Amino acid sequence: MKVKIFYFISLVIVFAAFSFLALLNIELKKQNSLIGTFTSPIEFSTARYPQINFSLAPPISAQGAVVIDKASQVVLFEKNPNLRFSPASTTKIMTALVALEYYKLDDILTIYKSNVEGTTLRLPLNEQFTFEDLLYAMMLPSSNDATRAIAENYPGGEKAFVARMNEKAQAYNLIDTYFEEPIGLLDEKDYTTAIDLARLTSIALDNEKFSEVVATKSKQIQSLDGTKITVRNINILLDTPGVNGVKTGFTDRAGQVLVTSRNLPKDGADLIFVVMQSQDRFGDTETLLNYLDNNITFLSIHP
């Protein structure tokens, strides 16, 4: 008799435990669903859903790559989209967003450091430029001294500026992105993924000034004392029909990196291409541009 009672109690306990776990699982799924549905910072619509017509994707040298439709955020091509790589100078996409959030275009910024590593314009120490001119210098020839000046003139200096970059990465749900500095030189510490970089670019392109700058081939900037400098965009794909940005990057460890935006006038769509740790960033991107050219059908989705 006691044995039967023991088995009965055991069954009741097991049943109660399973019931509790089942209810907990349902609640967790509900919470996860809410998170996935409502916390995205990117406005997107699936009213027009892109579909690949011919899906045999070509090989590329890049170790990480992704192509997304900006409006719907649908992924059209991917290769290791969630693998972390150094962003190199594509870091400056976030640098530009933080700067555009704080500075006015005519704010005067001072060059506090002239001995900056990598690509520079050799801007003279203590020289002054408008923020707008330094923004062009940062995004077209990828000037590291202009980038450093933008960060150092921020309240609290470069450290506070970088903290804001990481705050925005968290706010944008870029969970595989971290910045140690604003230029993209510290390969062992800065990291992002192809999909995070594509999503960040989606947000950045909603900023009218950002879009204008990254689509510019050349620009003359001028210091307050009258020194004129012509800055030229090193993104050679701007000569490709429909391409209107965005940013190059390179270090020995990061390899070649490129973020590209292309408008499809016929479809009224914008595509964002990202290649990371590439041996030929322009060649890889051209391969993807050709692969998707006239290879996408946009389906109208009605509620």
Active site residues: 89, 92, 142
Read off the amino acid at residue 187. D
Short-list 113, 84, 86, 83, CA closest to 185: 86
DSSP code, position 191: B
The structure tokens listed for 150 are 């933008």
- In sequence order, the β-bridge partners of residue 69 are 271
Within 13 Å of residue 84, how many CA atoms lie on the same side as its CB?
A: 12
Separation of alpha carbons 250 and 118, rounded Å: 10
- In sequence order, the β-bridge partners of residue 220 are 230
3-state class of 286 per DSSP?
helix
Q: Do residues 221 and 129 touch, judged by C-beta distance below 8 A?
A: yes
Read off the amino acid at residue 43. E
Q: Exposure of 178 by Cβ count < 10 A (0-12 exposed, 13-18 middle, 19+ buried)?
A: middle
